[in-house]
Amino acid sequence: MGGIVRRAGHPASGPLNGGPQMVEVSRDGKRVYITNSLYASWDAQFYPEGISGWLAKLDAQPGGGLGWDPKFFMPYEPSERPHQVHLQGGDASSDSYCFPDGRPG
């Protein structure tokens, strides 16, 4: 999805620039959220024509693998760059290291 060469689109969009950069997995392992902005200076280096921010979600498939959620796609204004997804209640993979036992208080 996205990227420098193919600019593959999401089912709810046309071609996209800016490939997936930040990936968050829900604690239950059923959802994966991706955004396409890493750092503004790096985004500008790899995409000098500009980057259009987006957020998308993949769902775990019952038989294994991942598939796009065709209804979950959020485009951002050109001046906005989504970075890391934090789910309410600490329901994301990166929140695990924030708490000694891996769970919010």
DSSP assigned state of 64: S
Q: What pLDDT, in 10s, does the model give residues 6-57?
A: 777 788 888 887 778 888 888 788 999 988 877 777 777 877 877 888 899 9
Q: How many other CB atoms are found less than 10 A from the CB of residue 57? A: 20
Whole-model pTM?
0.74
Q: What pLDDT, in 10s, does the model give residues 45-96?
A: 877 877 888 899 999 998 999 998 999 999 888 777 787 777 766 655 555 5
3-state secondary structure of 68: strand
Distance from the Cα of residue 86 to its chain's centroid: 11
Q: 70: which 2 tokens?
A: 């065709």
Ordered by start, the domain boundaries in the chain are 1-76
